Structure 1
Amino acid sequence: MEGFTSIMHLPDDCLAFIFHCLNSSIDRQSFGLTCRRWLQIQNLNRRSLQFQCSFTIFGPPSLSMKPFCVEAFHLHRLLSRFQHLESLYLSGCTDITDSGLTYVQSYGSNLQNLHLDCCSNVTDYGLSLIASGCPLLKAISLYRCLKITDNGLETLANGCLSFKHVNLSYCSQISDKGVKALTRNCRQLQVVKISNCDGIAGVGFEGCSETLAYLEADSCKLIPDGIKGIVSGGGLEYLNVSCLCWSPFGDPTAGIGFSSNLKFLDFRMCRSVCDASIVAITKGCPLLQEWNLALCHEVKLCGWQAIGLNCQNLERLHVNRCRNLCDLGLRSIQNGCKSLSILYMNGCVRLSAAAVEVFKCYRADVQIKEVEIMSINPNWEYRLNS
């Protein structure tokens, strides 16, 4: 019939608008089943792609999960189909090699988030492909990518200047040289994770941007000058140095006292941290909201008194299994720490039952939780700005 108009006569931008208005994931997935044209609209508007691999960093696969290997030709077909992806999750795709990342180089111009956790076959060459093909990249996770080195990280940092979130945990070949290239070139860094990187002492962070607000350095061999480098930007709010390895250069934690914006501090299992460092931190970090001192055996009465006197914004304190938390130390916390709401406490052998009962009586506003040793998990997280 002349003049008859249907939805098929709508231009592509109108169909794309309709697609984005669909709230149901089922409707979005069914959109492309209508016809080839609608399938093309769906493909062009897909922004995220994640593979359900048989292996993930969160634990072993379930018995019902069928193994699925993601190889180069899979990536080629999918990336050529979805050419406007902003997020690509390849975590656990252990068969991915540098050759597979050539397709990321070809189709990654819009990518902002790339996750390569446990992709142990990716090398420095693969990082060079990412650097040349993904100029808009803001976040990358290289957790347990064991073959990458400082050279690859430097190439990546030279090509992706907009990085805000970088995960290098368990990258055993990365040292302060690579970190220096990252902090020198990427001046928008917000989150960096370097846990279990034995080659990083921290000095590579010297001169880092004030945007750096979140650092995980669990089980690292940081030195005093390294800590000073980490806090040199002045914007650090969250710092995890739990299981800090002993340094022959002295207690590195004293330098944390220069981080005046710090709100969350994790010292879990830092058995060598001393009272002098505790005192310096209580005086230099007045904004502290949560402090984990579980298994910090060298914190003694002087340290507990400093916490009670100076940490007036502290809301949560972990003292699990602290051997030198005595009755007088608990009383100092009781009489100070006016904002305290939760005290994680068990296994403190020098505490008497009477002292604990007195604390409960005088500080009914504080909830005592007898939980196992746990790491700090803030009720907020840093999100990438658009």
Structure 2
Amino acid sequence: MRGHDRINACLPDELVMEIFRRLDAKPSRDSCSLVCKRWLRLERVSRSTLRIGASGSPEHFVKLITRRFVNVRTVLVDERLSLPAQLGRRPSVESIRPLPKLRYAKAKGGSETGELETSYISDAGLTVLGEGFSKLEKLSLIWCNNVSSMGLVSVAQKCRLLKSLDLQGCYVGDPGIAAVGQCCKQLEDLNLRFCEGLSDTGVVELALGCGKSLKSLGVAACAKITDISLEAVGLHCTSLETLSLDLEYISNKGLLAVAKGCPLLKVLKLQCINVTDEALAAVGTCCLSLEMLAVCSLQKFTDKGLSVIGNGCKKLKSLTLSDCYLLSDKGLEAIATGCKELTHLEVNGCHNIGTMGLQSIGKSCRQLTELALLFCQKIGNNALLEVGRGCKFLQALHLVDCSSIGDEGICGIARGCQKLKKLHIRRCYEIGNKGIVAIGEHCKSLTDLSLRFCDRVGDEALVAIGQGCSLQHLNVSGCHQIGDAGIIAIARGCPQLIFLDVSVLQNLGDMAMTELGEGCPLLKEILLSHCHHITDVGITHLVKNCTLLESCHVDYCPGITAAGVATVVSSCPNIKKVLVEKGKEVSQRTKRRAGSVISYLCIDL
């Protein structure tokens, strides 16, 4: 009732703050904070996470937020993001908007140069951040190029409760990392990818200081880090569970030390060209808790090392093998025999792995839920037939450039893996209507279908999919046999569709656009690139009911003129991106109304 405040009179501060914490969407919290001064104060106190992008005056902005939000535990700074890009990206994370004013740099003589001041957070900003958020537990500084060891030392000394630190792309040196080791004794998660200023000295000091608490470590593209660092990690970081390495100068010596000193290791990702079977065999012998292994471009990794992994790591659930040319069916058979709990398998560019290796996976790994085969020319239909017979829980299948797999294999998957939710196929030219029709008939749970550049797939396949599945995502770009009939079937059978890519479909016209507008009101993103028969008439019917549309690509569609672009902009209140080719005429009124929404593609496909 007007004049009676029944909520503030009854609810204590603690209960109001708990209500704020349960509001995931930032706009809802912002709206509540405008009710009264008390709610504004309590909402600020309840915030625990802040997300910051690039700003015009970062140092001043950091001072403001440290005064207003006193209970922050997580700060995420990503200078790759502009302010518009960060708004609304993650509802669960608080995105803070700096002051809109921009300052100008002055020359030595004191005159205005007219150049905008560089937007970055510096060591001074980090110092203020550390002083204001002494209870900080998680700090992410992604590509903050102007942060050095001086700022990191200040944060380490002030934020001693820090548990997670992401320094990806920061040019911090050894003194900063050493200070983190000395001060942050509770640190559990550390990301040092692309920290080019680091050397063994800093990593050794870090391991000495907080090695007992460290559980996750990622290092990539650090040319000065060698086996010495890994030996220190193996000696002091006995609780390490996750290790990701992309280093050129690491050899067996360093990885052997980690394998012997970190028996609790669960996740291991390696891209180290000098590592051989000896090191991987040590992992298989010592790290019996390993659940995820990803190896990329290990030129000296053979079946011998993979067999030891299969024999020792019985808990392995995820395996990724990428560009390991010496692996063959024998190694994959050892994984199938020993790792019965395997749920995820990706084979990418391992040209000597063929049908027999994958057949063994189908026979033994009954819990498999996701399978990805990329550039596997020797894997044929019989492999997928065996997977269909044995892996009843398969939910996702990815096939790229697998020239020996055709309709027979896809039919086997359709009949046996009826829980399939995602099917992505690209440039598999032996797969046609027959296989996709079988998917539509048997896989009723399918929600995500991608058939990019599959020349033999036509309207018949999409008619079966529309009748049997309720898709949310569909990509048929480059499938030139698909026309209006197939897309109309999807429009009538898949009302939950939110993403559609029909690029380069020369037979697609306005009739399909009309049906999509009537049947798919939830559509948020549509790609119509190089569709020569779609005109302003079709696009008008599409956007009439698809008012939730956020992204629309109409580049190189000669039938869509400036009027069609204006129709999209004016009819879709949520539109964020309209892509056209450079040179397409767009009216001045449309540019004034939605200049930031329109993007121009400069490369002719």
For the aligned pair, the TM-score class normalised by the smaller chain equals 0.7 to 0.9
Alignment CA distance shift 1:329-1:317 (3 Å):
same
Q: Aligned match of 1:324 in 555, 559, 563? A: 559
Does the CA contact (< 8 Å) of 1:271 and 1:298 recur in 2?
yes
How far apart, in 1, do the equivalents of 2:300 and 2:261 lie? 30
Matching residue of 1:123: 354
Alignment CA distance shift 1:287-1:372 (3 Å):
farther
Matching residue of 1:212: 446
How far apart, in 2, do the equivalents of 1:35 and 1:323 lie? 61
How far apart, in 2, do the equivalents of 1:149 and 1:41 lie? 33
Q: Tell me by how many angstroms 1:41 deviates.
A: 10
Aligned 1:67-216 pairs, distance under 5 A: 68-201=299-432, 202-216=436-450
How far apart, in 1, do the equivalents of 2:532 and 2:264 lie? 67
Matching residue of 1:313: 548
How far apart, in 1, do the equivalents of 2:552 and 2:384 lie? 37
- Root mean square deviation, CA, Å: 3.0
Count of matched residue positions in the alignment of Structure 1 and Structure 2: 338
Q: Tell me by how many angstroms 1:211 deviates.
A: 2.6
Aligned 1:301-380 pairs, distance under 5 A: 301-347=536-582, 349=584, 351=585, 353=586, 355=587, 357-363=588-594, 367-372=597-602
How far apart, in 2, do the equivalents of 1:42 and 1:256 lie? 52
SS at match of 1:168: strand
Does the CA contact (< 8 Å) of 2:319 and 2:345 recur in 1?
yes
Q: Tell me by how many angstroms 1:264 deviates.
A: 0.8
Alignment CA distance shift 1:207-1:316 (3 Å):
same
Does the CA contact (< 8 Å) of 2:454 and 2:479 recur in 1?
yes
What's the CA shift string for 1:162-192, capped at 9, x where partnerless? Answer: 1111112212232233222212221221221
Identify the range of structure 1 (183-192 vs 281-290) with the bigger mean alpha-carbon deviation.
Answer: 183-192
Matching residue of 1:229: 464
Alignment CA distance shift 1:348-1:275 (3 Å):
farther
How far apart, in 2, do the equivalents of 1:320 and 1:168 lie? 28
Q: Tell me by how many angstroms 1:88 deviates.
A: 1.1
Q: Which has the higher contact order (CA 8 A, sep 6+)?
A: 1
Identify the range of structure 1 (148-157 vs 291-300) with the bigger mean alpha-carbon deviation.
Answer: 148-157
Question: What is the letter of the counterpart of residue 405 of structure 2?
Answer: I
What's the CA shift string for 1:180-226, capped at 9, x where partnerless? Answer: 22122212212211111222223232224343222221101321110
How far apart, in 2, do the equivalents of 1:178 and 1:155 lie? 9
SS at match of 1:142: strand
Q: Which structure has the greater CA radius of gyration?
A: 2
Does the CA contact (< 8 Å) of 1:98 and 1:121 recur in 2?
yes
How far apart, in 1, do the equivalents of 2:575 and 2:307 lie? 54
How far apart, in 1, do the equivalents of 2:441 and 2:375 lie? 27
SS at match of 1:51: strand
What's the CA shift string for 1:110-150, capped at 9, x where partnerless? Answer: 11111111223333222221112211111111112112222
How far apart, in 2, do the equivalents of 1:197 and 1:157 lie? 18
Matching residue of 2:164: none
Does the CA contact (< 8 Å) of 1:282 and 1:307 recur in 2?
yes
How far apart, in 2, do the equivalents of 1:262 and 1:186 lie? 23
Instruction: Tell me the TM-score normalised to structure 1 length.
Output: 0.78
Alignment CA distance shift 1:196-1:35 (3 Å):
closer
How far apart, in 1, do the equivalents of 2:264 and 2:346 lie? 31
Q: Tell me by how many angstroms 1:35 deviates.
A: 9.5
Alignment CA distance shift 1:99-1:23 (3 Å):
closer
How far apart, in 2, do the equivalents of 1:213 and 1:76 lie? 36
Question: What is the letter of the counterpart of residue 215 of structure 2?
Answer: N
Question: What is the letter of the counterpart of residue 308 of structure 2?
Answer: R
Question: What is the letter of the counterpart of residue 216 of structure 2?
Answer: S
Q: Tell me by how many angstroms 1:363 deviates.
A: 4.3
Question: What is the letter of the counterpart of residue 148 of structure 1?
Answer: I
Question: What is the letter of the counterpart of residue 358 of structure 2?
Answer: L
Alignment CA distance shift 1:197-1:367 (3 Å):
same
Matching residue of 1:16: none
Q: Tell me by how many angstroms 1:153 deviates.
A: 0.8
Alignment CA distance shift 1:108-1:266 (3 Å):
same
Decide which structure has greater strand share: 2
Q: Tell me by how many angstroms 1:347 deviates.
A: 3.4
Question: What is the letter of the counterpart of residue 365 of structure 2?
Answer: C
Q: Tell me by how many angstroms 1:291 deviates.
A: 0.5
Matching residue of 2:521: 286
Question: What is the letter of the counterpart of residue 140 of structure 1?
Answer: L
How far apart, in 2, do the equivalents of 1:265 and 1:36 lie? 46
Does the CA contact (< 8 Å) of 1:224 and 1:254 recur in 2?
no
Residue segments in structure 1 that go unaligned for 5+ positions in a row: 1-18, 55-67, 376-386
Q: Tell me by how many angstroms 1:228 deviates.
A: 1.9
How far apart, in 1, do the equivalents of 2:264 and 2:440 lie? 53
Does the CA contact (< 8 Å) of 2:547 and 2:571 recur in 1?
yes
Q: Aligned match of 2:504 in 251, 259, 269? A: 269
Does the CA contact (< 8 Å) of 2:378 and 2:404 recur in 1?
yes
Aligned 1:50-69 pairs, distance under 5 A: 50-53=294-297, 68-69=299-300
Alignment CA distance shift 1:373-1:337 (3 Å):
farther
Residue segments in structure 2 that go unaligned for 5+ positions in a row: 1-210, 218-232, 244-256, 266-282
